[in-house]
Protein backbone atom coordinates (compact mmCIF):
# COMPACT_ATOMS: atom_id res chain seq x y z
CA UNK A 1 0.00 0.00 0.00
CA UNK A 2 1.18 3.49 -0.75
CA UNK A 3 2.73 4.64 2.42
CA UNK A 4 3.14 8.25 1.54
CA UNK A 5 2.59 10.44 4.54
CA UNK A 6 -0.18 12.95 4.13
CA UNK A 7 0.49 16.56 4.74
CA UNK A 8 -1.87 19.27 3.78
CA UNK A 9 0.57 20.62 1.27
CA UNK A 10 1.30 17.44 -0.58
CA UNK A 11 -2.36 16.59 -0.58
CA UNK A 12 -3.41 19.85 -2.06
CA UNK A 13 -0.63 19.68 -4.56
CA UNK A 14 -1.41 16.14 -5.56
CA UNK A 15 -4.99 16.89 -6.10
CA UNK A 16 -4.28 20.02 -7.96
CA UNK A 17 -1.94 18.22 -10.26
CA UNK A 18 -4.24 15.28 -10.74
CA UNK A 19 -7.27 17.38 -11.49
CA UNK A 20 -5.29 19.66 -13.72
CA UNK A 21 -3.85 16.82 -15.68
CA UNK A 22 -7.18 15.09 -15.87
CA UNK A 23 -9.05 18.15 -16.98
CA UNK A 24 -6.47 19.12 -19.52
CA UNK A 25 -6.59 15.70 -20.98
CA UNK A 26 -10.36 15.81 -21.03
CA UNK A 27 -10.36 19.22 -22.58
CA UNK A 28 -8.22 17.97 -25.38
CA UNK A 29 -10.29 14.89 -25.92
CA UNK A 30 -13.34 17.07 -25.97
CA UNK A 31 -11.87 19.42 -28.48
CA UNK A 32 -10.88 16.47 -30.53
CA UNK A 33 -14.25 14.78 -30.46
CA UNK A 34 -16.38 17.89 -30.62
CA UNK A 35 -16.56 17.84 -34.35
CA UNK A 36 -17.30 14.16 -34.78
CA UNK A 37 -19.96 14.29 -32.05
CA UNK A 38 -21.78 17.15 -33.67
CA UNK A 39 -21.44 15.43 -36.99
CA UNK A 40 -22.79 12.19 -35.58
CA UNK A 41 -25.78 14.01 -34.15
CA UNK A 42 -26.49 15.83 -37.33
CA UNK A 43 -25.90 12.73 -39.40
CA UNK A 44 -28.87 11.00 -37.88
CA UNK A 45 -31.29 13.72 -38.82
CA UNK A 46 -29.77 14.26 -42.22
CA UNK A 47 -29.80 10.59 -42.99
CA UNK A 48 -33.45 10.46 -42.00
CA UNK A 49 -34.23 13.39 -44.22
CA UNK A 50 -32.23 11.81 -46.99
CA UNK A 51 -34.23 8.67 -46.64
CA UNK A 52 -37.61 10.25 -46.76
CA UNK A 53 -37.09 12.79 -49.50
CA UNK A 54 -36.22 12.37 -53.11
CA UNK A 55 -32.72 13.42 -53.99
CA UNK A 56 -31.81 16.97 -53.01
CA UNK A 57 -28.66 19.02 -52.98
CA UNK A 58 -29.26 21.78 -50.46
CA UNK A 59 -28.77 21.52 -46.73
CA UNK A 60 -32.28 21.05 -45.38
CA UNK A 61 -30.92 21.63 -41.91
CA UNK A 62 -30.53 25.26 -42.80
CA UNK A 63 -34.12 25.68 -43.86
CA UNK A 64 -36.01 24.63 -40.78
CA UNK A 65 -39.39 25.80 -39.79
CA UNK A 66 -40.81 24.96 -36.39
CA UNK A 67 -44.53 24.76 -35.78
CA UNK A 68 -46.02 24.46 -32.34
CA UNK A 69 -48.62 21.71 -32.38
CA UNK A 70 -50.45 19.90 -29.60
CA UNK A 71 -48.06 21.07 -26.96
CA UNK A 72 -44.89 20.21 -28.77
CA UNK A 73 -43.01 21.22 -31.88
CA UNK A 74 -43.07 19.84 -35.37
CA UNK A 75 -40.14 20.70 -37.63
CA UNK A 76 -40.24 21.07 -41.36
CA UNK A 77 -37.12 20.65 -43.46
CA UNK A 78 -37.30 21.72 -47.04
CA UNK A 79 -35.37 19.81 -49.64
CA UNK A 80 -34.34 21.34 -52.92
CA UNK A 81 -32.54 20.13 -55.94
CA UNK A 82 -31.00 22.77 -58.11
CA UNK A 83 -32.98 25.27 -56.13
CA UNK A 84 -36.23 23.55 -56.87
CA UNK A 85 -38.45 22.28 -54.12
CA UNK A 86 -38.45 18.51 -54.22
CA UNK A 87 -40.25 17.86 -50.97
CA UNK A 88 -40.51 18.57 -47.29
CA UNK A 89 -39.43 16.31 -44.47
CA UNK A 90 -41.58 16.76 -41.40
CA UNK A 91 -40.26 15.73 -38.02
CA UNK A 92 -43.45 14.79 -36.22
CA UNK A 93 -44.59 13.02 -33.12
CA UNK A 94 -47.46 11.28 -31.41
CA UNK A 95 -48.23 10.99 -27.78
CA UNK A 96 -50.60 8.07 -28.20
CA UNK A 97 -47.95 5.38 -28.31
CA UNK A 98 -48.12 2.32 -26.15
CA UNK A 99 -45.37 3.74 -24.03
CA UNK A 100 -44.73 7.37 -24.60
CA UNK A 101 -43.73 9.57 -27.47
CA UNK A 102 -43.12 8.36 -30.98
CA UNK A 103 -40.98 10.54 -33.26
CA UNK A 104 -41.21 10.14 -37.04
CA UNK A 105 -39.70 11.81 -40.03
CA UNK A 106 -42.30 11.94 -42.79
CA UNK A 107 -41.31 13.00 -46.25
CA UNK A 108 -43.92 14.71 -48.44
CA UNK A 109 -43.60 15.42 -52.09
CA UNK A 110 -44.63 18.93 -52.99
CA UNK A 111 -48.14 17.72 -53.88
CA UNK A 112 -48.59 16.20 -50.44
CA UNK A 113 -48.00 12.59 -51.36
CA UNK A 114 -46.17 10.65 -48.70
CA UNK A 115 -42.80 9.70 -50.04
CA UNK A 116 -41.30 7.75 -47.19
CA UNK A 117 -41.39 7.56 -43.41
CA UNK A 118 -38.63 6.86 -40.93
CA UNK A 119 -39.01 6.29 -37.24
CA UNK A 120 -36.64 8.50 -35.29
CA UNK A 121 -37.37 7.43 -31.78
CA UNK A 122 -39.90 5.35 -29.90
CA UNK A 123 -40.24 3.23 -26.81
CA UNK A 124 -42.76 0.71 -28.09
CA UNK A 125 -42.35 -2.90 -27.15
CA UNK A 126 -39.70 -4.78 -29.04
CA UNK A 127 -41.33 -7.43 -31.16
CA UNK A 128 -44.65 -5.61 -31.22
CA UNK A 129 -44.90 -1.90 -31.67
CA UNK A 130 -41.35 -1.66 -32.93
CA UNK A 131 -42.47 -3.21 -36.20
CA UNK A 132 -43.18 0.35 -37.23
CA UNK A 133 -39.46 0.59 -37.86
CA UNK A 134 -38.84 -0.38 -41.42
CA UNK A 135 -36.05 -2.84 -40.78
CA UNK A 136 -38.00 -4.59 -38.04
CA UNK A 137 -40.84 -5.57 -40.29
CA UNK A 138 -38.96 -5.94 -43.50
CA UNK A 139 -40.11 -8.94 -45.45
CA UNK A 140 -37.43 -10.23 -47.77
CA UNK A 141 -39.89 -11.90 -50.08
CA UNK A 142 -42.06 -8.92 -50.82
CA UNK A 143 -39.37 -6.37 -50.15
CA UNK A 144 -41.86 -4.44 -48.12
CA UNK A 145 -42.23 -3.33 -44.56
CA UNK A 146 -45.32 -2.58 -42.59
CA UNK A 147 -44.90 1.12 -43.27
CA UNK A 148 -44.69 0.56 -47.02
CA UNK A 149 -48.44 0.82 -47.20
CA UNK A 150 -48.16 4.55 -46.64
CA UNK A 151 -45.71 5.29 -49.37
CA UNK A 152 -47.07 6.98 -52.42
CA UNK A 153 -50.41 7.58 -50.78
CA UNK A 154 -51.94 11.00 -50.48
CA UNK A 155 -53.54 11.69 -47.13
CA UNK A 156 -56.48 13.33 -48.80
CA UNK A 157 -57.58 10.06 -50.33
CA UNK A 158 -55.91 7.60 -48.02
CA UNK A 159 -57.71 7.53 -44.68
CA UNK A 160 -54.93 7.76 -42.08
CA UNK A 161 -56.74 5.53 -39.61
CA UNK A 162 -56.49 1.87 -38.81
CA UNK A 163 -59.11 -0.29 -40.43
CA UNK A 164 -60.61 -1.04 -37.06
CA UNK A 165 -61.49 2.64 -36.77
CA UNK A 166 -62.74 2.81 -40.33
CA UNK A 167 -59.53 3.91 -41.98
CA UNK A 168 -57.32 2.43 -44.66
CA UNK A 169 -54.33 1.39 -42.58
CA UNK A 170 -53.77 -2.25 -41.70
CA UNK A 171 -52.59 -2.25 -38.14
CA UNK A 172 -49.53 -4.12 -36.96
CA UNK A 173 -50.62 -7.44 -35.53
CA UNK A 174 -51.47 -7.04 -31.90
CA UNK A 175 -50.27 -3.49 -31.90
CA UNK A 176 -53.28 -1.44 -32.82
CA UNK A 177 -52.24 1.14 -30.32
CA UNK A 178 -48.85 1.72 -31.85
CA UNK A 179 -50.33 1.71 -35.33
CA UNK A 180 -52.88 4.25 -34.31
CA UNK A 181 -50.20 6.46 -32.84
CA UNK A 182 -48.22 6.14 -36.04
CA UNK A 183 -51.20 7.29 -38.05
CA UNK A 184 -51.71 10.11 -35.62
CA UNK A 185 -48.14 11.26 -36.11
CA UNK A 186 -48.36 11.07 -39.89
CA UNK A 187 -51.60 12.96 -39.76
CA UNK A 188 -49.99 15.66 -37.66
CA UNK A 189 -47.15 15.83 -40.14
CA UNK A 190 -49.63 16.31 -42.93
CA UNK A 191 -51.40 19.08 -41.06
CA UNK A 192 -48.05 20.77 -40.51
CA UNK A 193 -47.15 20.29 -44.11
CA UNK A 194 -50.40 21.88 -45.20
CA UNK A 195 -49.85 24.77 -42.86
CA UNK A 196 -46.26 25.56 -43.50
CA UNK A 197 -44.73 23.20 -45.95
CA UNK A 198 -45.85 24.78 -49.19
CA UNK A 199 -43.32 27.07 -50.64
Partner 1 sequence: MNQWKNFSKGFIRENAVFVLFLGLCPTLGVTSTAINGLGMGLATTFVLFMSNIVVSLIKSLIPNKVRIPTYIVVIASFVTIVELTMQAYLPTLFEQLGLFIPLIVVNCVILGRAEAFASKNNLLTSAIDGLGMGLGFAFALTLLGAVREILGSGSLFGLKFIAGDGILLFILPPGAFLALGYLIVIMNKIKEKTT
Partner 2 sequence: MNSTILITVITLSAIGMAAALILYFVARKFRVHEDPRIDEVEEVLPAANCGGCGYPGCRNFAEALVKSDSFEGLFCPVGGNEVMAKVAEILGREAVTQAPLVAVVRCNGSPGHRPKTSVYDGPVTCAIAHALYTGESDCPYGCLGYGDCVEACTFDAMYMDPKTNLPVVIDNKCTACGACVEACPRDIIELRKKNPKDRKIFVCCINEEKGAVARKNCKVACIGCGACVKVCPFDAITLENNLAYIDAEKCRLCRKCSPVCPTNSILEINFPEKKMVVKGQEKKDAKEGSGKEEKVAASGSEQKESGEESKKDKESNSSNK
Partner 3 sequence: MEYVIIIISAVFVNNIVLTRFLGICPFIGVSSRVSTALGMSGAVAFVMTIATLVTYLLQVYILNPFGIAFMQTITFILVIASLVQLVEIILKKVSPPLYQALGIFLPLITTNCAILGVAILAQQNEYNLLESVVFGIANAIGFGLALILFSGIREHLSMVNVPKAMQGVPIAFIVAGLLAMAFMGFAGIV
Ligand X SMILES: Cc1cc2nc3c(=O)[nH]c(=O)nc-3n(C[C@H](O)[C@H](O)[C@H](O)COP(=O)(O)O)c2cc1C
Report the residue from 12, 13, 20, 26 that binds partner 3 according to the rule CB under 8 A.
26
Q: Provide the β-strand partners of residue 75.
A: 66, 91
Within 8 A by CB and 6+ apart from 153, the residues are 113, 114, 168
16 binds partner 1 (CB under 8 A): no
Report the residue from 10, 47, 99, 173 that binds partner 3 according to the rule CB under 8 A.
99
The alpha carbon of residue 91 and the mean position of all alpha carbons in its chain are separated, in whole angstroms, by 7
| Cα–Cα dist 95/126, whole Å | 18
140 binds partner 1 (CB under 8 A): no
Burial of 63 (0-12, 13-18, 19+ CB in 10 A): middle
Q: Map residues 165-194 to x or -, x wherever contact with partner 1 holds by CB under 8 A.
A: ------------------------------
Query: CB under 5 to 8 A by kind: which of partner 1, partner 2, ligand X, none does 36 bind?
Result: partner 1
175 binds ligand X (CB under 6 A): yes
- Where does this chain touch partner 2 (CB under 8 A) — which range of 4-12, 78-86, 102-110, 124-132? 4-12
Report the residue from 129, 150, 185, 190 that binds ligand X according to the rule CB under 6 A.
129
Q: Which helix (H) or strand (E) holds 67?
A: strand 64-69
Give DSSP secondary structure letters for 71-138. Answer: TEEEEEEEEEETTEEEEEEEEEEEEEETTEEEEEEEEE-TTS-EEEEEEEEE-PPTTTGGGGSGGGG-
184 binds ligand X (CB under 6 A): no
32 binds partner 2 (CB under 8 A): no
Query: CB under 5 to 8 A by kind: which of ligand X, partner 2, partner 3, none does 176 bind?
Result: ligand X
Catalog residues that contact partner 2 under the rule CB under 8 A: 1, 6, 11-12, 15-16, 18-20, 22-24, 26-28, 30-31
Catalog residues that contact ligand X under the rule CB under 6 A: 98, 124-125, 128-129, 171, 174-178
Amino acid sequence: MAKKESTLLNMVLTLLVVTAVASTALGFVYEFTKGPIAAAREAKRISAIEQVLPEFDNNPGSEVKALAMDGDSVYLYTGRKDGEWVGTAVQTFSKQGFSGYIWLMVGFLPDGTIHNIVVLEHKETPGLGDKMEQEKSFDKKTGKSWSSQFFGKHPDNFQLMVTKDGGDVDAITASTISSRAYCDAVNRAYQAFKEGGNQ
